[in-house]
Amino acid sequence: MSIEQNLARVRQNIEVAARRARRDPSEIKLLAVSKTMSALAVEEAYRAGQRDFAENRVQEWHLKAPNLPRDAKWHLIGQLQTNKVKYLDSRLALIHSLDRVSLLQELERQGARKDWTWNTLVQVNIARDPAKAGLLTEEIEDFLALLGEHPHVRVWGLMTIGALAATSEETRLFFRELRVLRDELQDKQWPGVKLSELSMGMSQDYETAVEEGATMVRVGRGIFGDRMNG
Ligand SMILES: *Cc1c(COP(=O)(O)O)cnc(C)c1O
């Protein structure tokens, strides 16, 4: 299967899953996770109409971003080291991995310096997996309350990574839990916070995520094929 065919199939699956859940398919954005993939593969996806791409390493993003026209949107999905924030710039559409106060502070510092406001999602460790990054559910409210003091950072929603070992039904419950958390938090108001986006679902479970309310799904292998390093 070519990248173009894979993209067509994934888009079709998203549409079918959305209709099953009585959702409008246009509410769901497909992100092509291009980490470890070649520039050629990324260009092929772009030529097939894909515009949103996601990388997990700042250095790799720096190498790849200049290869695509400016209308390509780049998302950062990996854990972000504080000392890498200074290498970020306005080509980045959305940072999905805001997961701690020190990162919030560094984004604020660099945002003020560059006169730029970062668009972010707060990463939630909904599965309480000790191997995963992300805030615990009970930490989210206090964290969101800090955004008012960090005017160069805006939160647009929540992101999660399902537990690796989870069955598909466990994964569905985690996705549902994230949506319920979002709905509860939406009743409250914090400056700099709007919770319209839910980034959840990868190659193995993006259809479930769409059924449970995802507005962004992050698909790598399902588009590009297996990564060399797994
Ligand atoms: C790698 C990665 C993905 C994509 O995983 P696939 O299994 O290739 O679809 C999605 N989200 C995050 C955070 C990732 O690191």
Residue 110 is assigned to a structural domain of this protein? yes
Residue 148 is assigned to a structural domain of this protein? yes
d(CA 208, CA 19): 12
Instruction: List residues bridging with 51 in a β-sheet.
Output: none
Residue 230 is assigned to a structural domain of this protein? no
Q: What SS3 state is found at 105?
A: helix
* DSSP class per residue in 117-158: -EEEEEEB-TT--TTS-SB-GGGHHHHHTTGGG-TTEEEEEE
d(CA 118, CA 14): 28
Cβ–ligand 1 distance for 203 under 6 Å, the answer: yes
Q: Contact at 8 Å (CB) between 41 and 34?
A: yes
Beta strand pairing status for 29-33 and 216-219? parallel
Residues of the chain with pLDDT under 50: 230
Q: What is the pTM of this model?
A: 0.96
The pair of structure tokens assigned to 193 is 């916070």
Q: Whose CA is nearest to atom 4 of ligand 1?
A: 220
pLDDT at 230: 46
Which of ligand 1's atoms lies nearest the C-alpha of 35? 1
Residue 48 is assigned to a structural domain of this protein? yes
Residue 209 is assigned to a structural domain of this protein? yes
The pair of structure tokens assigned to 178 is 């994230």
Q: Whose CA is nearest to atom 13 of ligand 1?
A: 77
The pair of structure tokens assigned to 76 is 């950062």
Contacts of 134 (CB under 8 A, 6+ apart): 99, 123, 124, 125, 126, 159, 160, 161
Domain count, the chain: 1
pLDDT at 131: 86
Domain that holds residue 74: 3-224
Residue 229 is assigned to a structural domain of this protein? no
Tell me the CA–centroid distance for residue 218 and ligand 1, in Å: 6
Which of ligand 1's atoms lies nearest the C-alpha of 56? 15
3-20 helix and 39-47 helix, angle to the nearest 10 degrees: 60
Contacts of 26 (CB under 8 A, 6+ apart): none
The CATH number covering residue 123 comes to 3.20.20.10
Q: Whose CA is nearest to atom 6 of ligand 1?
A: 220
pLDDT digits (tens, 9 = 90+) for 97-147: 999 999 999 999 999 999 999 999 999 999 998 888 999 999 999 999 999
Q: Ligand 1 test: best mutation among 42, 56, 98, 221, most atoms within 8 Å of CB?
A: 56
Give me the amino acid identity at 127.
A
Which of ligand 1's atoms lies nearest the C-alpha of 204? 7
pLDDT at 229: 60
Tell me the CA–centroid distance for residue 89 and ligand 1, in Å: 22
Give me the amino acid identity at 116.
W
> DSSP alpha helices (H): ranges in the chain?
3-20, 39-47, 58-64, 101-114, 140-144, 168-186, 206-211, 221-224
Q: Where are the beta strands (DSSP E) in 84-152?
A: 92-98, 118-123
Closest CA to 29 of 61, 48, 54, 6: 54
d(CA 73, CA 94): 9
d(CA 225, CA 223): 6
